[in-house]
Chains A and B, each alone.
Chain A
């Protein structure tokens, strides 16, 4: 009986391979106002966050400053608690710019990952003119395709809450960002979860 059950389960699993499921199979054209997402784009003027980072079994902390420059660019500076600056990135109209990075972090994959995470937090994809408005039963989606990746901004049907931001590669979710507790268009906390490797970032707003 047990062997029979196991074979049945195996047969079913072959019929419905989980890996073949697209990220969002039932999305249809959304009938909602694009401003549904605009209001969640963080308006960082000068904001400090206490950062907590877990990479594998290692944990470290620091402070992240997000500051809007005099122009249209946004600066992000990460320091440790003792004051040493780890990196300083600038996000303007073009590609992100590295103003400074500590030698041990100055490696292309590290910089790419950090800049990518920060671009998701800053919701830089929201203004993409090619973005598609999509919906399913529960949520509204703003879909932006860029290179090989797809970014989904997901909000509740009534547009009252931004559920999450997802970065998807080949139908698989790679990064998930959750912005919570908005006040004056600035989130109180931010979580970044990497699904393809063990890395999590948690940011908590603080005032001086």
Chain B
């Protein structure tokens, strides 16, 4: 006697329902369609209100063209760090300056003072205790964040080879989700999300999501474009 196989397994409805083979195929197709839809929706369900950008290459060109018109940026910033496990957060604020091509000055003024200047591969940091000058090339994390900031300001963010990217949009922002490829940043950050303002294609906010669940959001406010910024602001000597 033949032992029962999978084919012999009673199908739901099969014995007492008159559904045809075609109806079964349609149901399977429906289930497959539903599961594919769930997978594709879950890809950006983490960003409510955002939808995927149909042509990221086109956006890349638009970002580059817009950035060519920007030589300097001066703005205030706020930073909120959320410690997920402790339900604790710390807010800080300061001033930000950018000068083409890769000069950045970030000055925290509240609730502590801290200055960081990045200028063509060199870095200066100063806290209330000490000043530190190091070639930023020596610090891979600083170098990659430096490049990310500079790329963001110059519309080259989608060309940054250190990250894989996905792009979403809503009425106000393009959301560029960057996933680090290297272990240096990837060990700390799961994603770094850049919010590009649709009005002027400048970076409106940066969200850094850490592997331990912590999150830091930096918002750039009261942006002033193409102001005359003296070189001394970016001096690292």
Contacts and interface: CB of A to CB of B under 8 A. Distances in A.
A79 B188 CA distance: 11
B83 A52 contact: no
Contacts of B141: 84
Interface string A38-66: 00000000101010101000111101010
A102 B88 CA distance: 19
Interface size class of B (residues with CB under 8 A): 20 to 34
B34 interface: no
Contact of A84 (B91, B127, B188): B188
Given A63-B90, A65-B86, A208-B91, A83 B208 contact: yes
Which size bracket describes the interface of A in this complex? 20 to 34
Contact of A61 (B114, B208, B218): B114
Contact of B212 (A46, A63, A82, A88): A88
A188 interface: no
Q: Determine which residue in A58, A63, A82 has the highest number of CB atoms from chain B within 10 A of its CB, and name it.
A: A82
Given A50-B127, A60-B132, A82-B216, A208 B90 contact: yes
B2 interface: no
A60 to B, nearest CB: 7
Interface string A79-117: 101111100100000000001101110000000000000
Contacts of B86: 65, 67, 75, 77
Interface string A113-147: 00000000000000000000000000000000000
Contact of A207 (B108, B111, B212): B111
A84 B88 contact: no
A204 interface: yes
Nearest to A83: B216
Contact of A81 (B114, B188, B208, B210): B114
B228 to A, nearest CB: 28
Contacts of A58: 132
B146 to A, nearest CB: 11
A32 interface: no
Contacts of B125: 60-61
Contacts of B114: 61, 81
Contacts of A103: 183, 187
Given A61-B127, A83-B79, A85-B212, 12 more contacts: A54-B130, A58-B132, A59-B130, A61-B114, A61-B125, A63-B90, A81-B114, A83-B208, A85-B210, A104-B187, A208-B90, A208-B111
